[in-house]
Amino acid sequence: MTYDEFAENLKECMVSVWVDDESTFGTFPLESMKCGIPVIGKIPDTEPDWLGENGFWTYDGNKVVELLGTFISAWMEGIELEAEVKEKMKETYLPYSKDNHSIATLSIFNTIMSQRAEGIKTTIEKIKTEAV
């Protein structure tokens, strides 16, 4: 399935469930949020930086089923997701755009190159000073 096909299929869901104790980042919840799909999940052992009031989270994996049941019951009764949660979802995924990723990656590599160049210059100056 292509990324576009995945996104189109994800948009058809009423909710996403994410349980991954070992994840250090977690793209699936972000993809779900970008598609406007709320997330119910267990907080992994290493909490992602983006975790917040942007979904329905629990530390207890056994409570995921309870959260899911409550969500589905509300959904069947026609209860809409609060605008505040939708806004938090949007705030969460916005920093992870391709453009922001490209800018951050270029910035990191520019910093590395600058540090290397500075290190080489410092070493050359040190060698020149010691040679005199």
Ordered by start, the domain boundaries in the chain are 3-95, 97-132
pLDDT above 70 covers a percentage of the chain that reads 100
Kindly provide the b/e burial profile for residues 52-87, where b requires at least 16 CB atoms within 10 angstroms of the residue's own CB. eebbbbeeeeeebeebeeebeeeeeeeeeeeeebee
Neighbour count for residue 92 (Cβ, 10 Å): 22
The confidence band for 88, taking pLDDT boundaries of 50, 70 and 90, is: very high
- Entry pTM: 0.73
**Per-residue tokens: 15:** 């909710």
Give bridge partners of residue 16 from the DSSP assignment: 39
* Closest among 27, 20, 79 to 50, alpha carbons compared: 27
The owner of tokens 């406007």 is: 36
Map residue 26 onto helix, strand or coil.
Answer: coil
Q: How far is it, in rounded angstroms, from Cα 116 to Cα 131?
A: 22
The pLDDT tens digits of the residues spanning 19-74 come to 999 988 989 999 999 999 999 999 999 999 999 999 999 999 999 999 999 999 99
Give domain 3-95's CATH number out of 3.40.570.10, 3.40.50.2000, 3.30.1300.10, 3.40.50.300.
Answer: 3.40.50.2000
Residue keyed to tokens 């069947």: 76
> Mean pLDDT score of the chain, rounded to an integer?
92
End-to-end alpha-carbon separation of the chain, Å? 66
